[in-house]
Amino acid sequence: MSETSMTIDELLGRETAPAALALADGTVYRGRAFGAKTVTSGEVVFNTSLTGYQEIATDPSYAGQIVTMTYTQIGNVGVNAMDDESRQPFLSGFVVKELFDAPSNYRAEGTLDEKLAAAGIPGLAGIDTRALVRRIRDGGAQVGVLSTDPAVQDADELVERARQAPGLDGVDWVAKVSTRERYDFTEGIWAGVDGQLPRPARPSQKLKIVAYDFGVKRNILRLLVEQGFDVTVVPATTPASEALAMNPDGIFLSNGPGDPAAVEGVQPIVRELVEEKPVFGICLGHQILGLALGGKTRKLKFGHHGGNQPGKDLATGKVAICAENHGYAVEADSLRAAGEPVAITHVNLNDDTVEGLAHEAKPLFSVQYHPEASPGPHDAAYFFSRFREMVERSAAGERVTGAQISGAGNAA
């Protein structure tokens, strides 16, 4: 068993409450606690984004995971209610090198420490995050236990807990984050203080979509509203008949956490929906769509988490700077073996994983990365207008396919 010798806070002479992160491989990292005083477990992953820690902490896709930020200074702009991506943080823990306890920003309404404490989420600061990230990168994602409880700091006990704790495989995390009741979402994108940010005019023709909530981020819903959609959000297991009874013009499948193959009951629902309406999926929604079409998914070594992933559009040859947050990927060969006429429209240039799909006979397409997260900042925003075009043309009675909308006729 290895254990770091001295924390940054100890070197600086700070008075701290103890905290420890123990990995299933026996490694233990010690630092200072922030957030809630508790003990939690989860798959330990790292995120390479330089900004957006609040959006990351409130992204439901991180349910069941302990997130390590590779950027060194976290918390310096505080937090505010407007930037939350969900009703509460769902991640298991948050790990940073240096936590700023006194943020300075005109929009700040509190600190990251306070926000995580209120949500019951523990944090660990003051460790060598480079060492932790390299261990995950080289050895792969693994389960860890994070303790900010001063009475639970024994290394052997924490390591044993980590070895006994469940990971993401085979666990339906969507059931833990999805809305319990359907609701209408009407909020558009932020226009800035006193409305000084320009916002394009929304389309005049109103179209209705039903959005399946597998752990949806609010900014996705905002951008759907900006495309002129009337958006109704429904629980993940809403029967297809119930969604179709709302007479929508299209269906959206959202992002979400965990193992797509473990999400209970959704594949038959999606198979029924794609026969009736245009469908667009993002992240977990993309993976579930791939499974519903007969494909398979696989676990990645340490996943894609961050705002600097290269996503290539095979139809145009353009490479977008992409924000991603997923630990599983659709297997390209499995889609071909299933016999569905599905084109692979986008790939990740780091590892050639599937980043986008489009059907050659039906109005449906999907993307693995997050076009709403603005890392480029707007490299991938065209997916929302593509969805609008597909739904609009379908509603007008035109026979349109996802491949036509995606320009996938010439894609490899």
Residues 101-147: tens digit of each pLDDT: 889 999 999 999 999 999 999 999 999 999 999 999 999 999 999 99
Specify the DSSP element, H or E, that contains 242: helix 240-245
Closest CA to 39 of 132, 141, 121, 143: 121
**211 and 298, same domain (yes or no):** yes
CA–chain centroid gap for 18, Å, is 30
* Section 256-266 average pLDDT: 97
For 69-104, how does the pLDDT look when each residue is reduced to its tens digit (9 = 90+)? 999 999 999 999 999 999 999 999 999 999 998 899
What is the number of structural domains in the chain?
2
Q: Give kind and range of the element (H or E) at residue 23.
A: strand 18-23
- Domain finish residue from 145, 164, 183: 164
Q: What is the CATH number of the domain that holds 285?
A: 3.40.50.880
Q: Does residue 266 share a domain with residue 139?
A: no
- Which residue range forms the structural domain that includes residue 148? 8-164
Under 8 Å between Cβ of 259 and 330: no
Both 44 and 130 in a single domain? yes
Q: Are residues 178 and 157 in the same domain?
A: no
Among the candidates 130, 164, 198, a domain finishes at 164
Residue 39 lies in a domain: yes
Average pLDDT, the chain: 93
Tell me which residue of 233, 241, 259 sits closest to 176, measured CA to CA: 259
Same domain, 107 and 218: no
Is residue 370 part of the annotated active site? The answer reads yes
- Output the domain CATH number for residue 94: 3.50.30.20
Task: Dump pLDDT digits (tens) for 44-71.
Answer: 999 999 999 999 999 999 999 999 999 9
For residue 87, count CB atoms less than 10 angstroms from its CB and return exposed for 0-12, middle for 13-18, buried for 19 or more.
exposed
- Residue of 120, 112, 162 whose CA lies nearest to 142: 162
User: Which range among 157-161, 181-185, 337-341, 342-346 shows the weakest confidence by mean pLDDT?
Assistant: 337-341
Is 372 assigned a catalytic role?
yes
**Mean pLDDT within 312-318:** 95
Active-site residue identified among 43, 55, 226, 283: 283
Shared-domain flag, residues 160 and 197: no
In-domain check, residue 313: yes
Q: Is 305 considered catalytic here?
A: no
> Which DSSP letter does residue 10 get?
H
